[in-house]
Amino acid sequence: MKKLIFYIIIAYFGIFFSNTAIAQEKIFQGSYAECQALAKKENKLILIDLYFVGCMPCAEMDKQVFPDPVVMKELNDNYILYKTDVMKETDGKKLARKYAAPGFPTYVIVSPEGKTILTESGFFGVDRFVPLLKEAVQRNKSNQYLAFNNTLDNSYPAAYSERFIKTGEKHDFAELEAYLEQQKDLFNETAFLANSVTYFAKYNNWAYDNLPKLIKLYGGNLLRNKISTIAKTKSKQYGVAQQLDSLTTMLAYIRPTFNKKLWAVFLPGFVASYYAGSQNAASYFMLIDQYKLYPTWDERSNAFGPVIIDQSKNPTILKSIRAEYLAAEQRKKLDQVDNYRLTLLHYYLKDFDKASSCMKRLLKSDSTSPFLTIDKKDLQDLNEAISKKDASLFKAKDIKKIIPFKLS
């Protein structure tokens, strides 16, 4: 969930970069209707870029991705680029409403005839954006389209429409539950959109049960937030019941909802939720390795953090984790967080001499460092517990390493 929240935050906030970086690229100037007319005349796809001023990922796309020669060639050959501000422009607001833009930028690719080919949201590096553009070209050639109709002016429920086009009227999202109750066909476009932005239990379950059909109709982009919330809850429930097979079956079932990049973002959270319910460290480690969840040592170490504390009375698990930290220490000097975790491992295993040695290094370290979010008093308490050789005295905290985030 933390990664999901962070993903949403960076999608909505940031600093503004101008569009001068892509000035050399041909951006259509005019209304969406005029853009559609030109696309039909030139037999080109339309790449709709839904953005707003202040959106950091949007600005970084303009700065890093659109000016790339390979991207520019693909756009020049096959596309008309239509950029529209979802906060300021009527077409932008209507397009955001039509496609329930779940984050920004949101990209929609439509055929010359106005048929929707695919939608995606978030930052795409060149290595991912070019294949996305090429995939849409191939889908168009194969007549593979989503089920969205061609109009921007469907009859939307007011509570949904107000989310994208502000009128000043107050509408509670609870209104959408009554709206969904009245729908004879939950697969129709407006019902699907209303369901995509809400989390009513009955309709969450319906969406989950009908996931393959919904992905085929509307793609996975609008389902990710809903499905990730459902999957996290189910993961913990499966953990409590020790149903590992149910977890792996669910993960395979929901996998098509996510693109490759976002699957790598969300999957660790589902597995961690299973562990939180099961408290079975052996199965957790097996899943980490099976799905190759943490490609770097810092990520893997952060995953070990809560397990060390949870399994403080399980010497078999603690020894296996300690072996990894000792191996890491052979490769390079451990940072403060790793030293803290190694100290805890020695301490819980009642290897107090080694714990004391690690503790000395920690006490000499800079406790004001932003990378060590534990105060001196906690370290002193741990040191005292080690000196008293009492492995039950210290109440440990799970400290996370701060790992720099990269949009790409």
Q: Which residues contact 193 (CB under 8 A, 6 or more apart)?
A: 100, 156, 160, 222
For 289-327, what is each residue's pLDDT tens digit? 999 999 999 999 999 999 999 999 999 999 999 999 999
Neighbours of 375 (CB within 10 A): 12
Q: Which residues are within 8 A (CB) of 225 and not within 5 positions of it... i.e. 6 or more apart?
A: 4, 102
CA angle 68, 72, 73 (to 5 degrees): 120
- pTM of the full structure: 0.89
* Non-local CB neighbours of 188 within 8 Å, separated by 6+ positions: none
What tens-digit pLDDT sequence spans the chain (408 residues)?
Answer: 444 444 444 443 333 333 444 444 489 999 999 999 999 999 999 999 999 999 999 999 999 999 999 999 999 999 999 999 999 999 999 999 999 999 999 999 999 999 999 999 999 999 999 999 999 999 999 999 999 999 999 999 999 999 999 998 999 989 999 999 999 999 999 999 999 999 999 999 999 999 999 999 999 999 999 999 999 999 999 999 999 999 999 999 999 999 999 999 999 999 999 999 999 999 999 999 999 999 999 999 999 999 999 999 999 999 999 999 999 999 999 998 999 999 999 999 999 999 999 999 888 876 666 555 677 888 899 999 999 999 999 999 998 888 887 776
Show the tokens assigned to 69: 């020669």
Say how far residue 84 (Cα) sits from the centre of its chain.
24
All structural domains of the chain with their residue ranges: 2-141, 199-293, 297-387
Give the CATH superfamily of 2-141: Glutaredoxin (3.40.30.10)
- What pLDDT shows up at residue 26? 82
Hey, what are 198's tokens?
């809400």
Nearest 5°: CA angle at 93, between 89 and 95? 115
